[in-house]
């Protein structure tokens, strides 16, 4: 798939303020703060439409972008950022979880995992929560330009081991780097081949 047009639609503070679902297939990008969600969205859309920052906690609302007048790409706030207050963190989690579990046109969640970091309890908890709620997801290992291929493999295996503690089948994964432009084709293929899953 080629991304020909990208249009920012709106930032929403809650699911009831999100754009109407209208049978438009939707894909959300989630993960720890600073993992590279907004940068990946810019890379995928060949634009600078999503706000990025080296300070964690930049994205704080549910941001809808319409791609090719056909599907929504959603940039979500990161989780697990220690410097926002516990109350704010909890409310982000609550609204992100509400959005993820209730949004009817959501086809896949792309869960970003920083390839440099060993499996973290918060990521595993989040993926377990997605599994328990039957929300389909694909893992994306981000920032792969920062690590050599041997260590990427090592990290992927570590994650596999961690997930096997609670999963029988391991959800698929894609290697990516927004900086070195790796992973775009596989992510867009995944989107292209699943758009017809909309009910």
Contact 110, 27 (CB under 8 A): yes
Residue 198 beta carbon to ligand GTP: minimum distance, rounded to whole angstroms: 26
Q: For ligand GTP, which residue of 6, 25, 58, 174 counts as binding (CB under 6 A)?
A: 58
Name which of 143 and 184 has its Cβ closer to ligand GTP. 143
Residue 31 beta carbon to Mg ion: minimum distance, rounded to whole angstroms: 9
Contact 101, 133 (CB under 8 A): yes
Q: For ligand GTP, which residue of 70, 132, 145, 161 counts as binding (CB under 6 A)?
A: 145
Say what the alpha-carbon torsion angle 57, 24, 12, 53 is, to the nearest 10 degrees. 20
Q: Which residue is nearest to ligand GTP (CB)?
A: 78
Look at the block and give the residue holding tokens 């930032």: 11
Distance of CA 156 to the CA centre of its chain: 17
> Which of ligand GTP, Mg ion, none is residue 45 near (CB under 5 to 8 Å by kind)?
none
Residue 113 beta carbon to ligand GTP: minimum distance, rounded to whole angstroms: 11
Total number of residues that touch ligand GTP (CB under 6 A):
23
Residue 32 beta carbon to ligand GTP: minimum distance, rounded to whole angstroms: 7
Q: For ligand GTP, which residue of 139, 140, 178, 184 counts as binding (CB under 6 A)?
A: 178
Answer yes or no whether residue 183 interacts with ligand GTP by CB under 6 A. Answer: no
Q: Quickly count: other Cβ atoms within 10 Å of residue 111's Cβ.
A: 23
Contact 50, 63 (CB under 8 A): yes
Find the largest Cα–Cα distance for the chain: 45
């Amino acid at each position: 798939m080629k991304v020909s047009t990208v249009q920012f639609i709106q930032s929403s503070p809650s699911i009831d303020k999100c754009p109407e679902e209208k049978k438009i297939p939707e894909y959300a990008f989630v993960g720890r703060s600073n993992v590279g969600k907004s940068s990946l969205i810019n890379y995928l859309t060949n634009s600078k439409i999503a706000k990025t920052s080296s300070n964690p906690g930049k994205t704080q609302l549910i941001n809808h972008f319409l791609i090719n007048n056909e599907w929504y790409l959603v940039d979500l706030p990161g989780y697990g950022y220690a410097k926002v207050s516990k109350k704010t963190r909890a409310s982000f989690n609550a609204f992100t979880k509400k959005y993820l579990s209730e949004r009817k046109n959501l086809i896949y969640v792309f869960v970003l995992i920083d390839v440099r970091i060993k499996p973290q309890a918060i990521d595993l908890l989040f993926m377990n929560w997605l599994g328990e709620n039957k929300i389909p997801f694909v893992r994306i290992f981000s920032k792969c330009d920062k690590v050599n291929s041997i260590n990427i493999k090592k990290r992927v295996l570590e994650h596999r081991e961690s997930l096997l503690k609670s999963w029988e089948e391991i959800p698929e994964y894609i290697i990516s780097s927004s900086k070195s432009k790796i992973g775009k084709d596989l992510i867009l293929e995944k989107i292209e081949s699943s758009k017809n899953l909309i009910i």
